Structure 1
Amino acid sequence: MEDKSRLSAEKAKQIIKNTLGDYIASQLQSLGKEERVRFLRQLKRIEGLSIRQIATITGFTFNVAAKAQDRYKRTVPLYCFIEPEI
């Protein structure tokens, strides 16, 4: 059975910020549909990140985030997105 644990809000914000780079929520809102779906698919693949967290942090509605279908349904391990603490 899969572990369905979710990330804390602060860790989710950090991971989304690292993943999206220089984009901010207001810029995401003005993206075209294809680019928006590409970003949302990328975020949905992150293990432990919920659709609700994605929607809240990016400013998209829950339905917009949920409808960005990921063709492959693969998740990426969390350690790929967290910067090492020194």
Structure 2
Amino acid sequence: MALDKNSLARLGSVPYAAADAVSLFLYATNDTVTQCIASGYFNGSTKTLRKGDLILISAVNGGTPTCSLCVVTSADNAATVTTAAAVFT
């Protein structure tokens, strides 16, 4: 399926440098997490998402609701928005 921009909501943002901030978004969908983190899935939000933003995804996995956190690895008005699973260290 495709991105539903109405299901992508900014929960807040935190400044971390003089001119930069990281935002946290919530996205709910009937798509799978695998579909959501595929390159280009969030292309409809290139003007909203920025590199380093976090997206908390509420999705499905074989009919079971799942939750995943991903980080935007490329956006900022790019032609393609890319994401990756967030790594906790």
**TM-score by structure 1 length?**
0.31
TM-score norm. by structure 2 comes to 0.30
Give the structure, 1 or 2, with the largest relative contact order (CA under 8 Å, sep 6 or more): 1
